Structure 1
């Protein structure tokens, strides 16, 4: 039987899938990198091919007709599958030695990985881009390695356990010299909104009570609280890896006996569809070695 696939306006189908998702011809055109008139023309071509109206205009906005919604639902998964398959089978020959590392633990990348990344860049002659994102990754997202504490992937990849998370109490050296964990009763404690689980866990593990704490300034994220602690504005309770550089440089000291495990694991996942799969694996292995050398071995 003669195939009529060549008659199907596939470019128009792709354009319509974006229009249906955004409910806007203007936004769809911007995403597709085409003019608004071209997007409208794709829509008209598809409606003509199908013999049905797909969208109805309501002033400056649009809504899908019942038929348009059914068609959008029917083509969404196949289009996503085609995009995923193309990315998976994209050949890496001739590509530069570049990786994109997506992470949901941005402070870990900022305070622990990036300051020590030059070793990997020089050893493997590579460039590493970072993308900080708390959302669950999708098939259409472009990256090579996922670095996370709590996200899961719905696609194939090789996984490494980088480190088991421990939290510590740290402060400027002049504030905690010779002090034990009871120092939190005398020095204000900096608060971090992004990890409310840490403080009650640490208090329970160290036998301290919240009633005795002097609360200081509040910060939305760890990377803002760390320099405040280093300049003597209060004590910081957070992941040991986040303060590694500041401690190594003498800007912070860790309170003796304050190290507590959280039960969480930092994981690095090299995606099968990476354009540089070997380099992605090399990065994950390097990261495991780095964590062991600087954090695990240093405590033994």
Structure 2
């Protein structure tokens, strides 16, 4: 059905009439004449090809089809009213819609959003995620975050704002580190390697950086994306390679840590784009705050002095 064909005025009149003992009372609620309500309902019945009301004495009774339609339309009107009330109550707050890679959104952005909104009480942040290979949606978002710079963006999009360069290092669950502590790079051979297809060769590159050569890595789990691999790490199934900045000095609600944070190799850089040029004031505030959070998370000593008995 084409939504443009929906007789919305007639449906509203019908919903009020269905809750009223008579058309006269429904007309008073709607602020129109009895004849206007009758005409709206007659036109709705003609459009549907079904009778919605039957008379019983001087009162109207809903037909079986009328009851079905009344329930659905009344509930829909309530939901529309509730949505309008929410928007009107929240009109003093402006929403910033942010699209980000799924792993960055889950492990960096989401744990910090309350902090941003507390510091900026008139702004709210809504987050959408994007997987590797998906096209960024500049049309539906105010800010788009990328891993690596986009090769070409629309001319109306703002310039790329640097956030951080990945410091890739092993990440493990607290529970696994209790069972198999990591004090030197070779100890990681006691953990099953968990890899992601979207980031090939990261284990080999880290072992090379750690001075262990390029050992043959056998077995272990392999997932399509890093955010899925990190779920397996959280379950204590092994360790993976991930950006150190995602598991830094903040309270780590996922119980993950970097056992050897000072041994890392550089990965891709993250950037933030304003979806509009010139940038809106709200986007500027958010991107500046995000850059500050990234600088804090990128400190050289993050996580490097956490004793194992603290996990």
Normalised-by-shorter TM-score class: 0.5 to 0.7
Counterpart of 2:118 (choices 105, 122, 135) is 122
Q: Is residue 132 from structure 1 mapped to residue 129 from structure 2 by the alignment? A: yes
SS in 2 for 1:163: strand
Alignment-derived partner of residue 99 in structure 2: 102
CA offset at residue 191 of structure 1? Answer: 1.8
SS in 1 for 2:160: strand
Alignment-derived partner of residue 147 in structure 1: 145
> Does the aligned pair in 1 maintain the 2:208–2:214 contact within 8 Å?
no
Larger helix proportion of the pair = 1
Per-residue CA shift, 1:68-109, capped at 9, x if unaligned? xxxxxxxxxxxxxxxxxxxxxxxxxx8951111122x21111
SS in 2 for 1:215: coil
Q: Is residue 269 from structure 1 mapped to residue 266 from structure 2 by the alignment? A: no
Matches within 5 A, 1:248-263: 248=252, 251-256=255-260, 259-263=263-267
Alignment-derived partner of residue 165 in structure 1: 166
SS in 1 for 2:289: helix
Cα 1:297–1:201 change in 2 (3 A) is closer
> Does the aligned pair in 2 maintain the 1:98–1:129 contact within 8 Å?
yes
For residues 213 and 265 of structure 2, the distance between their equivalents in structure 1, rounded to whole angstroms, comes to 18
Moved more, 113-122 or 215-224: 215-224
CA offset at residue 131 of structure 1? Answer: 2.0
Per-residue CA shift, 1:170-212, capped at 9, x if unaligned? 2232145252111232221112122114233223222334545
- Consecutive unaligned residues in structure 2, runs of 5 or more: 6-90, 305-311
Matches within 5 A, 1:28-107: 96-103=93-100, 105-107=101-103
Per-residue CA shift, 1:10-59, capped at 9, x if unaligned? xxxxxxxxxxxxxxxxxxx98xx657xxxxxxxxxxxxxxxxxxxxxxxx
> Does the aligned pair in 1 maintain the 2:186–2:212 contact within 8 Å?
yes
> Does the aligned pair in 1 maintain the 2:94–2:123 contact within 8 Å?
yes
For residues 150 and 191 of structure 1, the distance between their equivalents in structure 2, rounded to whole angstroms, comes to 20
CA offset at residue 238 of structure 1? Answer: 1.4
> Does the aligned pair in 2 maintain the 1:163–1:291 contact within 8 Å?
yes
For residues 184 and 220 of structure 2, the distance between their equivalents in structure 1, rounded to whole angstroms, comes to 19
For residues 99 and 234 of structure 2, the distance between their equivalents in structure 1, rounded to whole angstroms, comes to 28
For residues 142 and 248 of structure 1, the distance between their equivalents in structure 2, rounded to whole angstroms, comes to 31
Cα 1:191–1:137 change in 2 (3 A) is closer
CA offset at residue 294 of structure 1? Answer: 2.9
CA offset at residue 126 of structure 1? Answer: 1.5
Aligned residues: 209
> Does the aligned pair in 2 maintain the 1:184–1:214 contact within 8 Å?
no
SS in 2 for 1:157: coil
Alignment-derived partner of residue 287 in structure 1: 290
SS in 2 for 1:143: coil
Q: TM-score, normalised by structure 2?
A: 0.58
For residues 179 and 127 of structure 1, the distance between their equivalents in structure 2, rounded to whole angstroms, comes to 42
